[in-house]
Structures are given as structure tokens and as C-alpha cells.
Amino acid sequence: MNKLCIHGGRQLHGSVSVSGSKNAALPILSACLLSGGEKHISNVPNLKDVETLMSLLKAMGVKISQTGASTYCVSAKKLSSYTAPYDLVKKMRASILVLGPLLARFGSAIVSFPGGCAIGNRSVDMHLTGLQAMGAQIIIEHGYIKAESEGRLKGTEIYHDTVSVGATENLMMAAVLADGKTVINNAAREPEIIDLGKCLIKWGAKITGLGSSKIEIEGVEKLSGGTFNVMPDRIEAATYMAAIASVGGKVTLFNANINHLSAVIAKLKESGLNFFLKENCIEIEMSNEQPKAVDIKTAPYPGFPTDMQAPFTVINALAKGTSVIEETIFENRLMHVPELRRMGANISVKDNIARVDGRAELFGAEVTASDLRASAALIIAGLAAKGETIISGLEHVERGYEDIQDKFKQLGAEIT
Ligand code: UD1
């Protein structure tokens, strides 16, 4: 999909089923490298990022077969290579997640050093210093991270200066096969970390403290295989909620876990979105009133997720009143703002803070998406705007939203 054309201004009605979580599926598929046993992973979303990781695993010799609509059988009995090449890491930075598992099981890994990306520097220093503290020798040569370990990695105490989802995951995966106990202090607490941890525990790992900022892992010699069902995508669920808040209407969401969405739901309620919890679904409804402006400051979980900052900017652009949006996780994650201005939004940016003066209407325009969540924001803006919006740069959206066009069409959107 290169471009989307949206005729906005139609309220959304109907139901949507939330897919499996991208950010949980990627580490869980990487964790399949930790043992040779067969794993059956279900609720895996059909996304470009998942396809990229599967290509990477297959290129190393991992056998992957699709056994159901969203279920895969993964077997990493023997590998032919321990290398994650530039062309795949360049497509998706989360490829760095194979580093910890490869090193822990095979004592060797060569992973292309991820460069910067659209939303910021995204350094991997904490991944590397953590592995070094566990005894790995690491050199950076010709654009590659070359990591070796003589024998098993050694359990140790690690402290992170910044909360990092990826570094917590990589080190947790490395530590499950290490000799002795590893403690990760100032660990990330995101639900996806808990999902990965639950999966590792199911396959034989000894982990405590999941969901807290201190995770303790007692290394084991081997993991087994088994099954695992990936959690629902909380950011996808929240994106549909933000769409209803911006566009109006009434929608039922299936497979959403509201326990993962406390911060987002609190802010959406403040903006005027109504939630009705049913036994197996959530009904959300926006009255015909304009949303209310709501201040947002992104923070690691359980704070407001940076991945929802761009979609929320659209709600505020259409809201009654003025709001302040502060991005604290990434240095360059307000790139949707100039595009939203092309659609009439009143937003000024200084450093990483956006001041939004809401207005009752946006109008359609040609805009370009810079990254995954900015794409979602522009789609929501297009759905809310008067007239035609043409969005290009949409290769990003397929990385993280399963069937987004069909799901919005199902809700009555005019989108091609
Ligand atoms: C993950 C999510 C992404 C989300 C982000 C923050 C996946 C596949 N992606 O990305 O959707 O937006 O968490 O919730 O799960 N940092 C360092 N050194 C490091 C590692 C990180 O300085 O070694 C910095 C980053 O530059 C960034 C901050 O820490 O400023 C948070 O990054 P991190 O939590 O690691 O994000 P990802 O795991 O890449």
C-alpha cells in the first residue's frame, strides 16, 4: 500500500477485533531461538514487521510454518548462521532482539548495528553493556555488532539509566540461559515484557518480578518448546479508540485488554469518550460534541504510551480548548505535526512540546506519513476531516496495523 485516499467526515459504527500484539510477537518469536524444541505461537498478527523477523529467522536456518490463520510452528533445532544482516535490521530495528538469544544459546552473534531512525537516535548501548556485564565480548566492526561468549553467559546485577523496553527484553532472554542469577534494575514494566516473561516461564525459564522495575532471572541450562498465545495489541486497540474520539460514532471492540490501557482510557474519558464494559467486549461511544482538550505527557508504562502520542494529537487538534503534549521518550516524534498543520490544525512546537489550539474542523489535504504511529494519526485525521485526504508514505502503517484499511471500512469509513 503506497497511498490511501479518505473521504472524511463520516462517523464510525460497528465492531472491530483487535489483533495480536506486534510488540509482544516480535520478542516472543526471537525467543524461539533459545531452544531447539517446537513452539506453536498463536495470535501472531499478519504484519510487515513480523514478516521481516520471520525472514531473518528463516535466513538463520529456523523452520517456520503457518499452521493456522495466525498460528505458526517454529523450530530452531539447528542454525546455519548467527548473523542478522544489514538489509533486514535496516528494515526493522527490533531485529536487535535476536542478539541476546543467539549469544545465550550459541555463544556467538553478529547483528548489524541499527542506525538512527525517523523518530530518534534509538541507541542500543544498554543492550550491549548489559550483555558485556554478563561476560560477552563485544566489538563493533564494519557496521556489525560481533558478540561472543566463552561458555554460558554469567548472571549478574544490571542497572538501566533509562527505562528501555528492548534492552529489558534482550537481557531477559539472554539471562534465562545464563549461569546463575541476573537482576535487571529499572527494568521496563510494559505488558509486552510480562507477555514475553510468561512465555519464557512456560518454556522452563525461572523469572520473578515481571511487571515491576526489578526483574530477577535464575538461569537454567535448557528451555523446552511449547505453545503460547500472544496478548492483544494495546496500541492498536487504543488507536481505534482515538479514532472514535476524533470522528465520533459508536464501536464495539473485541479482544482488547483494558487492564493494559489505564492511562490512555483515563485521558480518552477526559476528552469525552464514553466506555461501556461488557462481558467479552468494550463499547465506546463519542457523543456529537466536540472532544475536550487534554494535556498529555508520555512516559514509560504505566505512563501514557509514546506510541499513542500522535493519534492523541489529532483528538486535541479537533478539541475545544488548548492542550500541551510533551514527548519525553523519543527526540523526534512530532513529525506528524507539520502534516496535521496542512490539514488546518493549529499546533506550534518548541523542543519536544506541542501546544495545540483545538478547532472544530480539519480539512482534507495531501500529506505524508513519516513513521508507523504518525501514519495512524494521519489516517484518523483524514477520517475526521472534511473532504479528501491523500496519505502517502504508508509503507509504515503495514508494519504495525493489521488490515487497517479493511477494519476502518468495516466501520463505515470511505477509504481506498
Ligand atoms: C519499544 C517499542 C516501541 C515503543 C518504545 C517505547 C517494540 C518493538 N517497540 O521500542 O513501539 O515506542 O518501546 O515504549 O517493542 N535507549 C537508549 N539506549 C538503549 C535503548 C534505548 O538510550 O540501549 C533509549 C531510546 O533511544 C529511547 C528510550 O530509550 O529514547 C526508550 O527506547 P526503548 O524502550 O528501548 O524502545 P524500543 O524497545 O526500541
Does residue 288 have a pLDDT over 80? no
CA 164 to ligand 1: nearest atom: 34
- The residue-averaged pLDDT of 241-268 equals 97
Per-residue buried b or exposed e for 104-139, using 16+ beta carbons within 10 Å of the residue's own CB: bbebebbbbbbeeebbeebebebbbbbbebbbbebe
- Is the CB of residue 33 below 6 angstroms from any atom belonging to ligand 1? no
Cell of 355: 501546544
- Distances from the Cα of 168 to the Cα of 112, 126, 224, angstroms: 19, 9, 22
At residue 99 the predicted structure's pLDDT band, cuts being 50, 70 and 90, is very high
Question: 232, exposed or middle or buried, with CB in 10 Å at 0-12, 13-18, 19+?
Answer: buried
- Is the CB of residue 328 below 6 angstroms from any atom belonging to ligand 1? no
d(CA 69, CA 80): 28
- Arithmetic mean of pLDDT over the chain: 95
- 170-202 pLDDT, tens digit per residue, is 999 999 999 999 999 999 999 999 999 999 999
Expressed in angstroms and rounded, the spacing between residue 227 Cα and the centre of ligand 1 is 27
* Coil, helix or strand at residue 274: strand
Expressed in angstroms and rounded, the spacing between residue 392 Cα and the centre of ligand 1 is 26
Cell of 222: 535448557
- 54-85 pLDDT, tens digit per residue, is 999 999 999 999 999 999 999 999 999 999 99
* pLDDT of the residue at 118: 73
- 330-373 pLDDT, tens digit per residue, is 988 999 999 999 999 999 999 999 999 999 999 999 999 989 99
* pLDDT of the residue at 117: 64
The candidate with the shortest Cα–Cα distance to 221, out of 170, 291, 278, 151, is: 151
Expressed in angstroms and rounded, the spacing between residue 304 Cα and the centre of ligand 1 is 14
* pLDDT of the residue at 363: 97
* pLDDT of the residue at 116: 58
**What is the torsion angle, in degrees rounded to the nearest 10, for the CA atoms of residue 208, residue 54, residue 146 and residue 330?**
-70
* pLDDT of the residue at 64: 98
- The residue-averaged pLDDT of 89-118 equals 90
Contact 207, 174 (CB under 8 A): no
* pLDDT of the residue at 251: 98
At residue 100 the predicted structure's pLDDT band, cuts being 50, 70 and 90, is very high
- Taking each helix axis from N to C end, the angle separating 99-106 and 22-31, rounded to the nearest 10 degrees, works out to 20
CA 300 to ligand 1: nearest atom: 14
Sign for the CA dihedral angle at 155, 221, 33, 60 comes to: positive
- 193-235 pLDDT, tens digit per residue, is 999 999 999 999 999 999 999 999 999 999 999 999 999 999 9
Bigger pLDDT: 91 vs 340: 340
At residue 157 the predicted structure's pLDDT band, cuts being 50, 70 and 90, is very high
Expressed in angstroms and rounded, the spacing between residue 333 Cα and the centre of ligand 1 is 12
CA 166 to ligand 1: nearest atom: 38
- Is the CB of residue 114 below 6 angstroms from any atom belonging to ligand 1? no
Does residue 115 have a pLDDT over 80? no
Cell of 123: 541507541
Active site amino acids: 117
Helix (H) or strand (E) holding 341: helix 336-342
